[in-house]
Amino acid sequence: MRAYFSDIPRTLLAMGYWAFMLYLLVPLTLMMAMSFKDANFIAFPIGDLTLRWYSQVLHDKQFLEACLYTIAIAVATTFAATVIGVWIAMLIAQSGSRWSGILFALACLPAVVPGMISAISLRVFISTIDMPTGTGAIVLGHTVHAVPFVVVMALTRLRSMPPNLVDAARDLGADSIVAFFRVTLPYLGPAIAGGMIFCVLLSVDDFVRTFFLGGYRPTLPMLIFAKVQGGMSPEINAMATLVLIVTAAVGLYAEYMTRRSRSR
Amino acid sequence: MQPVVQFENVTKTYGQAIAVDDLNLAIEPGKFVTLLGPSGCGKSTTLRMLGGFETPSSGRILLAGRDVTHLPPNKRNVNIVFQDYALFPHMNVARNIAFGLELQGKSADAIHRRVMELLRLVRLEAFAERLPSELSGGQRQRVALMRALAPDPQVLLLDEPLSALDAKLRQQMQIELKAIQETTGKTFLFVTHDQEEALTMSDVIVVMNNGRIEQMGDPHTLYSHPNSVFVANFIGEANLLKATVVARDGDRTALRWNGLEVQASATGHPAKAGDAACIVVRPEAIRFSGSPADGVNAMPGKIRQRVFKGNHTSMLVEVSDGTHLTALVHLGDTESIAGEDVWISWKPENATVIRDEAVPA
Amino acid sequence: MASIEAAQAELENGGPMPRYSTNISRIVNSRLYQLTLGAAVASRAGRLALLAAVPLLWLAFLHIGPIYQMAKISFLTSYPLQHGRPASYTLANYAIFFSESIYFMPLIRSFVFSLASTAITLIVVFPVAYYVAKIVRPDWRSKALLLLLVPFWAGELIRTFSVIMLLANRGALNFLLRDIGLIDRPIPMLYTSFSLGFGLIYLICLYMLLPLYSAIDKIPKHLLDAAADLGAGPFTRFRRIVLPLSRDGIVSGCSLVFLTCIGVFATPMLLGGPTNVMFPETISGFFHGASDKWPVGAAFALIMLVSALTTAGIFMRLVGGKATKLM
C-alpha cells in the first residue's frame, strides 16, 4: 500500500464499503429487531420487547414440520447432487478438450436458466414423465439446480490435482474404482464438503422451484411466503430470524472451511 | 541369467511422432540401470510403457519372461517413483507406504512390520505419523521410494526422482539411492537427463537419443570409449578431432590430424586405413609440458583462456591450425597463464576413435 | 516396568500402529466385486461406461429434457394430449404474447428492471469489490469479504421480507423521516417501482461482488505500480488497467445478476404491487389450475428464456470477455 494507492481516494472507497455494508445489514437487522416487538403488528418504533414470538414459533407445529420437511429435502438433494455432480466432474476432467467444453456447458445450463423458467420447465417435465408433484419432484428440481455448483467446485479441485496421484495408486495395485475412492475422492474432500453445504443452502432457500413442484406440505420459504402475503405479525420475524441465524452460521462455517482447506 | 525386463522391437508413436523406435533392451536382475538422454529422447515413454501407463504401438514387453504388454498398471509387479513423488496428501507416511500392501491383502500386523522395516531403512521411523506436507523434499523422496518398494516389485522404476531436489541434496540422495539398491538387491530402472547422476549410480547406462539406444554399457566404458559423437558429447566434455585413419595395429590406431600423426586406442569402430574418423579426447586426458614431451601426440599450442573453476582449472588451448582444445588441469599441474606457449599431449589409450559424423557446434 | 518396555517398543516402532485398511483387499478380492465392478473396470469399454453412463443420462434427461419438453408443448394446439389423437402443432401460442399489452408489457418491464438493476449493481459494487481486493490489508481481506457475505446466506424470501421492514408505511425509513420532522405523513414506498428496484438490487448485489472481486484480485499489483511509475494518474490507471483486466469479472457478474434478476418470482410479488406485474408472474398465471393453458405458458417461458439468453449473449459479445466464472 504505497503512495500509488493513496492518491486513489481511499477514504472515499472505505466509506463506500461501509455504506454498502450498512445497506446490506440494516434491513436484516431491522427484521431481526422486529421479532422482539411486543405487539401483534409490525410497525416502527419497536417499543416494548418480548420473547413471546419466539416461544410461539418454537411451539408452532406447522413451523416445526416445515423445518423438518425442508431439512429432509435438503439432505436428499445434497446427497443426490453431490453424487451426480462429482460424477459429471470426473467425466469432464477425463474427456478430451473438445468434449469437455460441451459437457461443461451442458452441466452449467441449469445455473444460467432463470429460476422461473427452470421451475416451469421442470413442472412440464415431471408431468410428461407422469411424476406427481410433491417431495420427489421438489428433490429432483433442487438437485438439477444444485448439480452445476457441485460440478464447478469439484472440477476446480480436480484440475489442481497432480495427475500422478491416480497413476501412483494404479501403479501400487489399485484398479480405477479403488483409485477413485481411496485417492481422488479424499483429495476432493474439501471441495465436496463446500459443495454439499452450498447444496443445503440452495435447497433451503429455494422458493420458486418448490412453489411449482411442491404439493400441499409447505417448506420454510413457502410458509414464510404464505405468512407474508396473508398479513404480517412479528411472528414471521421470529421465524425468519431463526432461519437466518442457522443458514448464516452454516454458510459462514462452509466459507471458513473452504478457506482453510485452500490455504493448506 | 534370465533378464528381468525385455523390450522386444518396441515402438511407440503418437500420431506422426515416433517416441520410441524399435527398442530392444534386456535388463539383468539386481542391476542399477539408467536410461540417460535429453528430454524427448523416449526414455520416459519407455519407463511408462514398462509401468503400464502407455501401450506400445508394436512389439512386446516381457517381465521375468511373462508378456505384460497389454496388462494394466495394477496387474504388473513393477512400481514407479514419480518425478513429483505423487505422495497421497491425505495419508500419513505409514499409510502411504502401506497403500500397495493393503491392496495385496496382507494382515495389519504384516503391513506394519513391513512399513516400519522400510522406514528404518531410510531412518524415518519417527515420521510415520506425519503427512507428506510436513516433510522436507528429501524425506518425501525417501517415502516415495519406500512406498514403491513396499509391495516388493520385480523392478523399481524411477522417473527423474532427484530433479526436484537442490544440488547438495541431490548428491546425498544419489549415494543413498545406490546404497538402498545394493541393500535390497532390487533391479532399479532409473530415468534421468543428468549424466552425472547416471555415472554416479549406475551399473549399466543406456544412452538414448531420438527414440533409439545410442550406446549401452557400464559408466566407465561409456565415458572412456563412447562410440558416437552424441554419447561423447552427452556424457562429459569432449574434444572431437576430425582425422583420417592411417593404419591400425592391434589396440592402436594411427591417424593423421592437422598435419600430425596422432595415436589413439582402437575400440569397436572398425576403421580402415584411409577412412575418415573422429578422435575423442577428454579434457582431463590432455597434459601440459613446457617442452616437447615423449614425442607421442605432442604438439605446440598457445593458451587462449584460463578459467578457474574451483577444484580444477579449465584451459582453452589453440593449436597450429586454429583449433581450440579444452583441457582440464588440477591444482599444481601447470602454472601456465593465458598467452603462454605450451606443449600438449595425450596418451594414446586415453583417446578413442569413433566413426566420422557431423560434429555439433 | 512392563509399561516402560511397551512404551519403548512403541517408540522404536514409531508410535502406535496406524489403522491400515485391510478391508479394501477383502472387498476387491471378493467374488461379488470381481464379477461385477472389477470385471467392468478391467476393460476400456467397461471403464468408459462406468464413468460416462450416469452423467450423460443425467445431462440429457434433466438438463436438456425439461427445456426440450417445455419447448415441445409450447407448439401444441391442445394439452394434455389425448390418447388416439395425434398431436398437432401451431405457432398460435406465441402469437398470443403479441396480442395484448398485458402479456408483453410485463416482459418489457422485467427487462427494464433487470437491466437497470444490473447496471446500478455494477456501479455500486465495483468500488466495493475494488476496495476489498486491492486496498484492504491482505490479512483483513477475507474478513472484509466474509462480512459482506453474511446477508448472502439469508435466502431470497427473508431478504425480501427484510426490505419490507425498511420501506413499509410504518417501516423504519418512514419512521425515521417522521421522527426527524422531514415529513408529516408516510411516503408510500412499498409496492412501488422504487421498492421493487431496491429489493431486486438488495437480492442480487452479492452475485456481482464475487466475480468482480476474484477478477480484481487477480490483477497483479505491480501492474498498477508500473502504470503509476510511468505517470498514469488514478483515473487513467482505472480506465486503462483495472477496467480492462476485470472485464471477465464484469461480464460474468452482469450476466449472472441479469439472468437471476429476470427469473425472480417471489420478490416482485411481495414488493411490486399490482401495477408492477413482472413476466414470471404472468407466466405463472398459466400454470395455476388445469393444465390446458400450459402451451401458452410454455411459449411465454420460452420467449423469456430466449430473449434473456440472447441479451446476455449480446452483452458478452459486446464487452468481449469470457464468462468462465459464471458461478
pLDDT given for residue B205 in this prediction: 92
CA distance A43 to B142: 71
pTM: 0.86
Q: What is the pLDDT of residue B34?
A: 92
Q: What confidence tens digit (pLDDT) does each residue in B209-220 have?
A: 988 898 899 988
Distance CA A103, CA A147 (A): 13
3-state class (DSSP) for residue C218: helix
Out of A44, A106, A205, whose CB is closest to C175? Answer: A44
Long-range Cβ pairs for the range A155-164 (8 Å, 24+): A155/A89, A155/A92, A155/A93, A155/A104, A156/A191, A157/A187, A157/A188, A157/A190, A157/A191, A158/A89, A158/A90, A158/A93, A158/A184, A158/A188, A159/A93, A161/A187, A162/B84, A162/B86, A164/B82, A164/B83, A164/B84, A164/B86
Residues B72, A170: C-beta atoms closer than 8 Å: yes
Q: What is the C-alpha separation between C203 and C263, in angstroms, rounded?
A: 12
pLDDT digits (tens, 9 = 90+) for A210-222: 999 988 888 999 9
The alpha carbon of residue C5 is apart from the nearest alpha carbon of chain A, in Å, by 35
Report which of residues A11 and C122 the model is more confident about. Answer: C122
Q: Are B205 and B218 in contact (CB under 8 A)?
A: yes
Three-class SS state of C51: helix
Residue A16 has its nearest CB partner, among C50, C128, C171, at C128
Tell me which fold the domain B230-355 belongs to: OB fold (Dihydrolipoamide Acetyltransferase, E2P) (2.40.50)
Nearest CA in chain C to A101: C324
Measured distance CA(A160)–CA(C28) in Å, rounded: 28
The residue ranking higher by pLDDT, B164 or C65, is C65
CB atoms within 10 A of CB C246: 26
Residue B246, H or E segment? strand B239-249
Instruction: Name the average pLDDT for chain A.
Output: 87
Q: Which of C287, C278, C155 is nearest to A224 (CA)?
A: C155
pLDDT at A149: 92
How far is Cα of residue B239 from the mean position of the Cα atoms in its chain? 20
Chain B interface, best mutation among C8, C10, C17, by max B CB count within 10 A: C17
Split at pLDDT 50, 70, 90, the class of B359 is: low
Q: What is the CATH number of domain A53-263?
A: 1.10.3720.10
Residue C327 pLDDT level (bands cut at 50, 70, 90)? very low
Q: Do A204 and C155 touch (CB under 8 A)?
A: yes
Q: In the CATH scheme, what is the homologous superfamily, with its name and number, of domain B5-229?
A: P-loop containing nucleotide triphosphate hydrolases (3.40.50.300)
For chain A, where are the alpha helices, taking DSSP H only? 3-6, 10-34, 52-58, 61-94, 97-112, 115-128, 135-159, 164-171, 176-179, 185-205, 208-213, 220-229, 234-263
How does pLDDT run across C144-154, given as a tens digit for each residue?
A: 888 888 777 88
H or E stretch including B208?
A: strand B204-209
pLDDT given for residue C42 in this prediction: 79
Q: In this predicted structure, what is the pLDDT of residue C1?
A: 44
Report whether pLDDT(B232) > 50. yes
Q: How confident is the model at residue C79 (pLDDT cuts 50, 70, 90)?
A: confident
pLDDT in tens, B312-346: 888 888 887 778 888 888 776 667 777 778 888 88
Report pLDDT for A66.
92
Instruction: Output the pLDDT for position A264.
Output: 46
Identify the pLDDT of residue B2: 83
B230-355 and B5-229 share a CATH fold: no
Which has the higher per-residue pLDDT, C241 or C320?
Answer: C241
Locate the domains of chain C by residue range: 100-319
Nearest CA in chain B to C43: B72
C-beta atoms of A168 and B53 within 8 A = no
So where are chain B's domains?
5-229, 230-355
Out of A61-65, A88-92, A168-172, C42-46, pick the least confident: C42-46
Q: Choose between C236 and C211: higher pLDDT.
A: C211
Chain C residues closer than 8 Å to B94 by CB? 14, 18
**B262: closest CA of chain A, how far (Å):** 53
Percent over 90 (pLDDT), chain A:
38
Q: How many CA atoms lie within 13 A of C272 on its CB side?
A: 20
Comparing alpha-carbon positions, the chain A residue that sits nearest to B149 is A172
Residue pointed to by grid coordinates 438438463: C63
A-C CB pairs within 8 A amount to 272
* pLDDT score of B61: 92
Instruction: Give the residue on B whose Cα is nearest the Cα of C21.
Output: B102
pLDDT tens string A58-82? 888 889 999 999 999 999 999 999 9
Q: What average pLDDT does range C186-193 have in this prediction?
A: 84
A151 and A198 Cβ atoms separated by less than 8 Å: no
- Whether the CB of C25 is below 8 Å from some CB of chain B: the reply is yes
Q: Answer yes or no: is pLDDT of C31 > 90.
A: no
Inter-chain residue contact C153 with A250, CB threshold 8 Å: yes
Q: How confident is the model at residue B333, as a pLDDT?
A: 67
Q: Count CA within 13 A, CB hemisphere, residue B27.
A: 33
User: Contact C148/A21, CB-based, under 8 Å?
Assistant: yes
Q: Which CATH superfamily is domain C100-319 in?
A: MetI-like (1.10.3720.10)
Contact of B74 with chain C, judged by CB distance below 8 Å, is answered with no
pLDDT of residue B197 exceeding 70: yes
Amino acid at residue number C67: I
Q: 3-class SS at B227?
A: coil
With cut-offs at 50, 70 and 90, classify the pLDDT of residue B237: confident
Confidence band, pLDDT 50/70/90 cuts, at residue A187: very high
Partners of A263 on chain B (C-beta within 8 Å) are none
pLDDT at A2: 47
Question: What mean pLDDT comes out for the span C207-234?
Answer: 83
Q: Do C157 and A224 touch (CB under 8 A)?
A: yes
Contact C51 A201 (CB under 8 A): no
Query: Which of the listed ranges C76-80, C225-229, C297-301 does the model predict with the highest average pLDDT?
Result: C297-301
Closest CA to B205 of B191, B186, B187: B191
pLDDT at C322 over 70: no
